Amino acid sequence: MAVLDPRLKELIDGFHEPLDDELKKLRDANESDGVPLIMRETEGVLHLLLDLIRPMHILELGTAYGYSSLFFTKLLPETHVTTVERNPFMIEKANEVFAKHSESCRIDLREGDALETLLTLRDEMSANKDKYDFVFIDAAKSHYRDFLDIIEDITTEDAYIVCDNILLKGWLVDRQGKEAKRHRTNIKYMRQFLDYIKDRDDLEVTILSCGDGMAVIKRK
Whole-model pTM: value is 0.91
- Whether pLDDT at 47 is above 50: yes
Mind giving me the DSSP string for 44-66?
A: HHHHHHHHHH--SEEEEE--TTS
**Domain membership flag for residue 1:** no
Whether pLDDT at 75 is above 60: yes
**Angstrom distance (rounded) from CA 144 to CA 125:** 21
Let me know if residue 80 belongs to a domain: yes
pLDDT digits (tens, 9 = 90+) for 113-171: 999 999 999 998 865 568 999 999 999 999 999 999 999 999 999 999 999 999 988 78
Q: pLDDT tens, 160-184?
A: 999 999 998 878 777 666 666 776 7
Domain for residue 130, yes or no? yes
Domain that holds residue 75: 6-219
Out of 14-18, 174-178, 212-216, which region has the weakest mean confidence (pLDDT)?
Answer: 174-178
CATH number for the domain harbouring residue 152 = 3.40.50.150
DSSP secondary structure string for all residues of 141-182: GGGHHHHHHHHTTSEEEEEEEEEE-TTGGGTTT---SHHHHH
Q: Is residue 108 part of a domain?
A: yes
Of 1-5, 18-22, 43-47, 56-60, the one with minimum mean pLDDT is 1-5
In a domain? residue 63? yes
Total domain count for the chain? 1
